[in-house]
Amino acid sequence: MDSSIALILTQDGIVNGAVYVLLALALVLVFTVTRIIFIPQGEFVAFAALTLAMLENGRFPGTVWLVLAAGLAVCVMEAGALVARHDWRYRLQVLGWNLAYPLVLWALAATIDWREAGQWGRIAFTLALIVPLGPMMFRVFFQPIAAAPVLVLLIVAVAVHVALVGLGLWMFGAEGYRTLPLWDENFLVGPLRIPGQAIWVVGASLALIVLLAQFFSRTIYGKALRATAVNRNGARLMGISPNLAGRLTLMLSAAIGAVSGILVSPITTIYYDTGFLIGLKGFVAAIIGGLAAYPAAAAGALLVGLLESFSSFWASAYKEVIVFTLIIPVLFWRSLRTHHVEEEEE
Amino acid sequence: MKTKKRIILGLALALGWTLAQAQVKVGVTVSATGPAASLGIPEKNTVEMLPKEMAGQKIEYLVLDDASDTTNAVNNTRKLIAENQVDVVMGSTVSPNALAMIDVVAEAKVPMISFAAGDKVISPVDEKRHWVFKTPQSDKMMTEAIVEHMVASGVKTVGFIGYSDAYGESWYQSLSEAIAAKGLQLVVNERYNRTDTSVTGQVLKIVGAKPDAVLIAGSGTPAALPQKTLKERGYAGKIYQTHGVVNPDFLRVCGRDCEGTFLPSSPVVVAPQLPDSHPAKAAGVEYFQLYESKYGKGSVTQFGSYVWDAGKLLAAALPEALAKAKPGTPEFRAALRDAIEHLKEVPAANGVYTMSPTDHLGLDHRARVMLRIESGQWKYIP
């Protein structure tokens, strides 16, 4: 191995790692605020990438039906409150977001020829489709059991993941897709050939991290989420609605997942079930951060990316084994360093 | 009282009618979902096209999905045999599943026709594989076609990249044997996963070893990733793919990076391009047209044709088995197995099948052709 190969592998590792960073951050965010180990995180990645691919190919994206169905499910679950609460603002809000908005999306998907809409138009529409899935998913699956133990939440998360993978096969088919790159240029730097898309991936990840940091330190909603993460009951006493916090968190996580999917789909082929493995690697990184620390999770994600690219050079047959074995010494080290805290009883 | 009598009479009649109309039950398990879904879906589609009547017998097909999972394939097989009393089991799509099903069918003494390509499914024909046949060309035959083509075009050194599972391993084995026999040299051996998002590390190693040709042993769209990365890293040698990539989605995902790629394949894929003298042309064109009329132009893959040929084998073997015993009995299942083993020169979409007690595939060189990808199409190289 010479230095140029090492450089190329490092570049590859950083580009992959940048996506894992985003997913690790989303997983840490969801876990700290809602205590859900959010297995379906990867599905947002795959669904966003495949929705974009469908729009590029001029096909009707199945995610439209998913949003319609999820919105309808939310309306059904809110039906009691809709009748009982004589609050027009509340009624308008629920019906607007969960019934009218999906219908508008459906109308847009059916009438516009997205092949002509330009790359940014398609990306915007993809985000408009994927992001609302987060809060809807929270309302339907997690809000009714928000106080349940972590294990129950995990099991529900696994169930949601399995259901979504099945729906993914139904909506997009078994074959993989690649989307058009945002920037089809290549830059030669010494022995390195840096594709424009790789710069996009790393740049967008960094930008998103900065945005998140600003959101959490400057805005009232960001502070509310932080407060909920620090102490759920305390935050509730201060008037922060745990349901609002949950919906907001899943909206952020869906947005992060969708952006990751849009970023990686030009450099790799995405299948309906790709999301799980990408999410799992983000999860390994999040574990390195103890599912609580953002910088450690980000560093862990870069480590996973680099480890992956170097092990694929040295021992390609054992790449996955090496990456997932990393979790064992990390857990061992963490268990020695931290005192075990029993999960709080509610 | 009268009604009761009528009911009893009706039941008796119905029972007698079923006995007289004893139909042949075919249990099928395919991987219509999961990682092998792109292979399993055309197979499932083809089951629907199989004749509902053969040799004057009604044929009932029971199709289950094993989600590309070995445990499910075994459970499906048990279910088909124990609950539905099938006369023959067909499937599954991928070799690990088919291998796991062997024990089950051998124990229950039910003949099985596999759609999985792995050689180990039928070879060596031992006490258990006595019951197992398969329709897809073995990797060995396809490797021979590749290596012959390599030798003819002056290749001396070969690189290999394949799946890090039984599929890749099996290809590696047969390639290393075939090229050793021809005096070529295997200079680099790399692995990757179907779900990998990057193979830069492996490709750098291949490019560094400078082989004259590279064989990518993948299937479906995941086989496009190494090829795209090889082109990206400026590899200029010949690239070979396996017959596992023959589906339109592979061409779509790989795009212009796949121009000029060589691959072996079943004749069915290019059936209309074959010369009329080719023995697989007639059955191939029949399947080709039937499938395209139902599922659209350019939709034919060889995976579905394995199922079609399993149907051909069954149709050819049924008269002999029916002469010996009635469907639904252990004797019939044994007779059906014997009859399949006795088949001689059965023309089908993938070639001509001649079974024997030591060969449960029965295909020869007539079952493979070499193709080249030209402007996004499969082109037959005579």
Average pLDDT over residues A192-210: 89
Across residues A264-280, what is the average pLDDT? 89
Residue A262 binned pLDDT confidence (cut-offs 50, 70, 90) = very high
Cβ distance of A320 and B225 shorter than 8 Å: no
A291 is written with which tokens? 């599912």
pLDDT tens column, B126-150: 999 999 999 998 888 889 999 999 9
The letter for the amino acid at A168 is G
pLDDT confidence of residue A153: 94
The answer to whether the CB of A269 falls within 8 A of the CB of B222 is yes
b/e sequence A69-103, b meaning 16+ C-beta within 10 Å: ebbebbbebbeeeeeeeeeeeeeeebbebbeebbe
Q: Which of A277, A311, A314 sits opposite B195 (nearest CB)?
A: A277
Interface test with A, best of B195, B225, B257 (most A CBs within 10 A): B195
Helices (H), A35-132: 41-56, 63-84, 88-95, 101-111, 119-130
pLDDT for A342 equals 52
Place B175 in a pLDDT band, splitting at 50, 70 and 90: very high
The two tokens of residue B87 are: 């006369």
Q: What is the pLDDT of residue B65?
A: 94
Q: Are strands B112-114 and B132-134 parallel, antiparallel or unpaired?
A: parallel
Provide the pLDDT for residue A103: 95
Chain A contact present for B38, CB below 8 A: yes
Tell me what pLDDT residue A340 has.
Answer: 57
A56 contacts in B (CB within 8 Å)?
A: none
Q: Quick one: pLDDT at residue B2?
A: 55
CB contacts, 8 Å: A314 with chain B:
201
Rounded Cα–Cα distance for residues B90 and B103 (Å) = 14
Instruction: Kindly identify which residue of chain B lies nearest to residue A316, measuring between CA atoms.
Output: B191
Are A16 and B221 inside 8 Å of each other by CB?
no
Residue B3 scores a pLDDT above 60: no
Helix, strand or coil for residue B34? coil
Tell me the pLDDT of chain B averaged across its residues.
89
Average of per-residue pLDDT across A192-211 = 89
What's the confidence (pLDDT) of residue A345? 45
Which 139-168 residues of chain A touch chain B by CB within 8 A?
166
Name the minimum distance, in Å, from the CA of A282 to any CA of chain B: 14
Q: Quick one: closest CA in B to A310, which residue?
A: B201
DSSP-assigned states of every residue in B179-227: HHHHT-EEEEEEEE-TT-S--HHHHHHHHHH--SEEEEE--SGGGHHHH
Q: How far is B164 from chain A (nearest CA, A)?
A: 5
* Pairing mode, strands B88-91 and B112-114: parallel
Residues 271-290 of A with CB under 8 A from B: 271, 273-274, 277-278
ipTM score here? 0.72
CA dist B315 and B339 (Å) reads 11
Mutate to test the interface with A, among B31, B43, B198 (most CBs of A within 10 A): B198
Q: Has residue A261 got a pLDDT over 80? A: yes
Residue-wise pLDDT tens digits, B39-69: 899 999 999 999 999 988 899 999 999 988 9
Q: List, for residues A95-121, the tens digit of each pLDDT value.
A: 999 999 999 999 999 998 888 888 999
Q: Give pLDDT, residue B7.
A: 58
User: Is B231 an interface residue toward A (CB < 8 Å)?
Assistant: no
Rounded percentage of chain B residues whose pLDDT exceeds 90: 61
A127-144 average pLDDT score: 94
Peptide bond just before B174 cis, omega within 30 deg: no
- For the segment B149-159, what is each residue's pLDDT rounded down to a tens digit? 999 999 999 99
| Other C-beta atoms lying within 10 Å of the C-beta of residue A43 | 29
Residues of chain B with Cβ-Cβ distance to A185 below 8 Å are none
| pLDDT of B274 over the 70 cut | yes
Cα A230 to Cα A22, A225, A324, B356, distances in angstroms: 21, 9, 29, 73
Contacts by residues A76-80 (CB-CB < 8 Å, ≥ 24 positions apart): A77/A139, A77/A140, A77/A144, A78/A139
What is the mean predicted confidence (pLDDT) over A134-148?
A: 93
Q: Do B201 and A310 touch (CB under 8 A)?
A: yes
pLDDT of residue B21: 53
Question: Of A126-130, A279-283, B32-36, B314-318, which gets the smallest average pLDDT?
Answer: B32-36
Flag whether pLDDT at A346 surpasses 80.
no
Task: Identify all chain A residues contacting B196, using CB atoms and an 8 Å cutoff.
Answer: 312, 319
DSSP state, residue B84:
T
Question: Sign of the CA dihedral A20, A59, B301, B91?
Answer: positive
Instruction: State how far the Cα of A284 lies from the Cα of A297, in Å rounded to an integer.
Output: 9
Mean pLDDT of B241-264: 88
Q: Which of B31, B196, B199, B235 would you mutate first to test chain A, the one with the most A CBs within 10 A?
A: B196
The token pair at A222 is 């960001």
Question: E strands of chain A, at which residues?
Answer: 186-189, 192-195
Whether B339 shows a pLDDT value over 90: the answer reads yes
Q: What is the pLDDT of residue A1?
A: 63
H/E element, B260: none
Query: Which amino acid is located at A288 in the chain?
Result: I
Closest residue in B to A6 (Cα–Cα)? B201
A41-82 pLDDT, tens digit per residue, is: 999 999 999 999 999 988 999 999 999 999 999 999 988 888
> Closest Cα to residue A109, out of A95, A94, A121, A92?
A121
For the residues A173-200, what does the mean pLDDT come to?
Answer: 83
User: Which pLDDT score is estimated for B322?
Assistant: 93
Rg (CA), chain A: 21
Mean pLDDT, chain A, rounded, equals 89
**pLDDT at position A17:** 92
Report which residue type is found at B10.
G
The whole-angstrom separation of Cα A238 and Cα B354 is: 81
- pLDDT at position B5 is 59
What's the mean pLDDT in B246-254? 84
pLDDT of residue B55: 87
Given CB atoms, is A332 within the 8 Å cutoff of chain B? no
What is the band of B360 on the pLDDT scale with cuts at 50, 70, 90? very high
Interface size, chain A vs chain B, as Cβ–Cβ contacts under 8 Å: 91
Q: How far is B217 from chain A (nearest CA, A)?
A: 14
